[in-house]
Chain A
Amino acid sequence: RKEVEQDPGPFNVPEGATVAFNCTYSNSASQSFFWYRQDCRKEPKLLMSVYSSGNEDGRFTAQLNRASQYISLLIRDSKLSDSATYLCVVNPNQAGTALIFGKGTTLSVSS
């Protein structure tokens, strides 16, 4: 099982739609989780941090299910500007190991 797995997509949705991405992780000791968005040819930008069961920021909600070892990101009322690649990132909480990046999920929102 890969350490951090994401559905690569692409997810193609119309404006106003609700879309959800899932991310699974293999290390049950993982403590903290992050969603980054990355626009084409730009750097990853932190979208949300998840340290407990979840987090909400406006149209974005992240939920953590430790028992099943997955994190989800829900985007409500999608905007054209939400089109990007969303990276799931996990802190495996192992000495000598830095954050582990998923391969990313591509979202395309159309009018």
Chain B
Amino acid sequence: DTEVTQTPKHLVMGMTNKKSLKCEQHMGHRAMYWYKQKAKKPPELMFVYSYEKLSINESVPSRFSPECPNSSLLNLHLHALQPEDSALYLCASSQEYSTGREQYFGPGTRLTVT
């Protein structure tokens, strides 16, 4: 089973709202990732968690706050977003971060900031 689940599928939020995106995998993977994808562009890496510790933050604005409560769960907390943050947010997981193995993506959350 190579399933990564994400909730919600769609989210519309105002610029003053606080919301959270959730991601879950039960493949025993120890690396989890958040990506942002705009239309007709490749996914853009935001954060990498390895063994529940933040390994990479690609200079993401602080209005995005990741959290890894345990090895199966990854959250992305959103606060005071801008309309240009509207995008598809993808979660992915892989066996380990250091080995550069395949990543498996969830279906994504399509976020619209109004």
Interface residues of A (CB under 8 A from B): 31-32, 34, 41-46, 49, 87, 91-93, 96, 98-99, 101-104
Contacts and interface: CB of A to CB of B under 8 A. Distances in A.
Interface in B81-106: 88, 90, 97, 100-106
For chain B, what secondary structure do more than half of its interface residues adopt (helix, strand, loop), or is it mixed? loop
A45 B43 CA distance: 12
Given A34-B102, A43-B105, A43-B108, A104 B48 contact: no
A99 B100 contact: yes
A45 B110 CA distance: 17
A94 to B, nearest CB: 9
B88 A41 contact: yes
Contacts of A32: 100-101
Given A32-B100, A93-B100, A44 B45 contact: no
Given A43-B108, A46-B102, A98 B97 contact: yes
Interface in B29-65: 33, 41-43, 45, 48, 55-56
A101 B88 contact: no
Interface of B: 2, 33, 41-43, 45, 48, 55-56, 88, 90, 97, 100-108, 110
Contacts of B110: 41
A104 to B, nearest CB: 6
A104 B37 CA distance: 13
B35 to A, nearest CB: 9
12 contacts: A32-B101, A43-B90, A43-B105, A44-B90, A96-B56, A98-B33, A98-B48, A99-B45, A101-B42, A103-B41, A103-B42, A104-B42
Contacts of B43: 44, 101
Given A41-B88, A103-B41, A31 B102 contact: no
Going nearest first, the 9 A-B pairs with the smallest beta carbon separation are A91-B100, A101-B42, A43-B105, A43-B108, A44-B105, A43-B107, A32-B100, A103-B42, A46-B102
